[in-house]
Each structure stands twice: as structure tokens, then as C-alpha cells.
Amino acid sequence: MFSGAQVSLYPMSDDFVGIIIGALEALDPWRDRLRLETDSLSTLMVGPPEVLFPAMRDLFCAAARTGVHTTMHATVSRGCPGEPDDPICTPRAGQPRNLPLADRVALGRDAVAAAPRLKQDIAAQLSLYPLGVGHHMDEIYGCIAFLKDSGTFDRSKNFCTALRGDAGPVFETLSQAFTGFGAEAGHLAMDVTVSANSPSAR
């Protein structure tokens, strides 16, 4: 099943070019398991979710560790009927989505609790869009229940849910939301914005 993300990184600095180029080195451990294509708008990252989210995490944290206000926006998708299957996207055996919602919530929560701590505080917001699912609101409400129980939940917002915490658990929360909800063979999209070192008052 095709899975990937269009990712854009925005360091709020006059040296944004240097910060972005330096941050790209954080993708080196993942390059053999991803297909990367960059243009003037974003970078396409194609690969299985268990590689995709840690790679995005490492890219973002490398830029955020410079101390400048940094944001990243990603549109993440799996199962798009308009995209051909790509062998690089074959996931490892993971959480089956035919489990009851309550079990998926519990498994997702356990995965977040086991995520590594990276000593980088971040904020994030996400919106989940299960497409082609007859009971799509059940999946959305199940995902919201997971987010509230994840340990990274900050607050509900209009059109999205906000998260906050260490980058390790927050990105694992995003990964579990992406892989644990929606039809197993269906199309699902997720809109994500991540921020660190913001001058805005918490």
C-alpha cells in the first residue's frame, strides 16, 4: 500500500538555508528505506509508516535544536487509489485495524508510552481524514479518544487536535493515529503541523 508525506520545513531565521541543509543530514540513517523527491514547495517522502514518522521526527528535531523557532507542515497519506503500490512502502507487521476501537486505543497508548524521549519539547496539531469508510466518524472519534489518552494531548481545537510534549512521544502519537484508525485497505490522509521554540506564550 502506498504511503508517504509531502513535508515542508520552516526555520524562522535569516540562516534558514543553512539550517535546512544541516537538518537534512538527519535523514541519512533512513535514506535506504525512503524515496525522497524535493522541489521548490516540499519534499516527498515515500516509505512505510514506521520509517516515515521517525524520519520526519529526526528532520524536524535537527532543525529545532538550533534554538530558532521552527515549524514543519506535512500532508501524510496512505492507500491513495491514484498512486501505484511501491515496494518501499511495505510495512512491517503492525497493529491490525480490524480490532475493536477500544483495543486500538490501548495499543496506541502503550506504543506512545514506550517511545524514546529526545529532550526536545514540541507542539503539534493534526486532523485525520479517513476516506471511503462507511462509518468514518466512528474512526475519527476513536482516534480522538486515543489522542486524549495518549499522554501527549494538549487540547481540542477547531478542526484539529493539539498535542504537546517531548518529540519522541508526540511523533509516536502521530504515527499511531495514522496507522491505527481508518479502514485497513482504505485511503486515509492526515494534516500535521509541528512547532518548536515558538515565541508565543504557552
Tell me the domains of the chain and their CATH numbers.
Answer: 3-196 (3.30.70.930)
pLDDT at 201 over 90: no
**pLDDT, position 91:** 60
- CB contact set of 47 (below 8 Å; sequence gap of 6+): 3, 4, 30, 33, 34, 35, 55, 88, 89
pLDDT at 98 over 90: no
Comparison of pLDDT for 156 and 91, the residue scoring more: 156
**pLDDT, position 19:** 97
| pLDDT one-digit tens code per residue, 34-68 | 999 999 889 999 999 999 999 999 999 999 999 99
Q: Cα dist. 68→61, 107, 142, 181 in Å?
A: 11, 35, 35, 34
**pLDDT, position 51:** 94
| pLDDT one-digit tens code per residue, 131-176 | 866 678 888 999 999 999 999 999 999 999 999 999 999 999 999 9
| pLDDT one-digit tens code per residue, 111-122 | 999 999 999 999
Closest alpha carbon to 5 in 71, 56, 57: 56
pLDDT at 202 over 60: no
Q: What percent of the chain has pLDDT over 70?
A: 88
User: Using only C-alpha atoms, what is the Rg of the chain?
Assistant: 16
Please tell me the pTM assigned to this model.
0.92
pLDDT at 182 over 90: no
**pLDDT, position 133:** 60
**pLDDT, position 183:** 75
pLDDT at 89 over 70: no
Q: What whole-number distance in Å separates Cα of residue 176 and Cα of residue 173?
A: 5
pLDDT at 15 over 60: yes
Least confident among 3-12, 54-63, 92-101, 175-184: 92-101
Q: Give the pLDDT band of residue 186 (cuts 50, 70, 90).
A: confident
**pLDDT, position 99:** 85
